């Protein structure tokens, strides 16, 4: 929002008309964006994420600013919902960990082997891209974007570019195989 100038939001009627006129390519793009954002979310899959974004837009709890492309608006809405879901899961994990014994849990060998293989495949997928690997490793360790940038001597622009490469490569790879 420009300072002092209120942001104008589209009406529900305008939103409904824009949703009805989405092309097949735009719908496919939204599905792919939802799939990427929903990766690793325990509470919802891609269709739940997309449905929640649409519900929030249609209910008016998330307003669509005039001048912002509808796909970009819905992508940002899905990002926000996914972040809320991650934060809720982290809070639940923290609460469960506070209540749990500090005894290490046993992990069955199959699960451990599958996890190790997935990590190996992700690392191989980003072999040669030190920035992307730094972002992935930092996120896996629970570091904030600022901490990752500092540790890897990355600018915010380099960090954002690495995130885009990660999303694109994972989306491409997930459409080709099951990662």
**157 within domain boundaries:** yes
Q: Which two tokens stand for residue 48?
A: 């739940």
Q: Residue-wise pLDDT tens for the chain (179 aa)?
A: 556 556 799 999 999 999 999 999 999 999 999 998 888 877 888 999 999 999 999 999 999 999 999 999 999 999 999 988 888 878 776 766 666 555 556 778 888 888 888 888 888 888 889 899 888 888 888 888 888 999 999 998 998 898 889 888 888 877 776 54
Whether residue 80 sits in one domain with residue 125: no
CA distances from 95 to 84, 154, 176 (A): 16, 33, 38
The whole-angstrom separation of Cα 144 and Cα 149 is: 9
Q: What is the pLDDT of residues 52-93, one digit of tens each?
A: 999 999 999 999 999 999 999 999 999 999 988 888 878 776
Domain extent, residue 53, equals 12-92
**Does 72 lie in the same domain as 138?**
no
Q: Give yes or no: residues 85 and 126 share one domain.
A: no
* 71 part of a folded domain: yes
Q: Are residues 82 and 21 in the same domain?
A: yes
pTM: 0.53
């Amino acid at each position: 929002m420009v300072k002092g100038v209120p942001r104008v939001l589209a009406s529900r009627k305008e939103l409904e008309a824009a949703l009805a006129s989405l092309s097949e390519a735009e719908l496919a793009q939204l599905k792919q964006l939802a799939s990427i954002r929903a990766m690793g979310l325990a509470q919802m899959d891609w269709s739940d994420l997309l449905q929640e974004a649409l519900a929030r837009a249609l209910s008016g709890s998330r307003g669509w600013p005039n001048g912002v492309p509808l796909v970009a608006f819905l992508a940002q809405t899905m990002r926000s919902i996914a972040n809320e879901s991650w934060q809720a899961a982290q809070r639940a994990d923290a609460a469960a960990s506070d209540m749990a014994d500090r005894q290490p849990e046993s992990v069955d060998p199959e699960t451990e082997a599958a996890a190790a293989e997935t990590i190996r495949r992700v690392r191989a997928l980003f072999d040669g891209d030190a920035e992307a690997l730094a972002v992935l490793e930092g996120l896996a360790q629970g570091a904030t974007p600022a901490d990752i940038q500092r540790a890897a001597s990355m600018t915010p622009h380099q960090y954002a570019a690495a995130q885009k490469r990660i999303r694109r490569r994972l989306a491409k790879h997930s459409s080709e195989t099951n990662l």
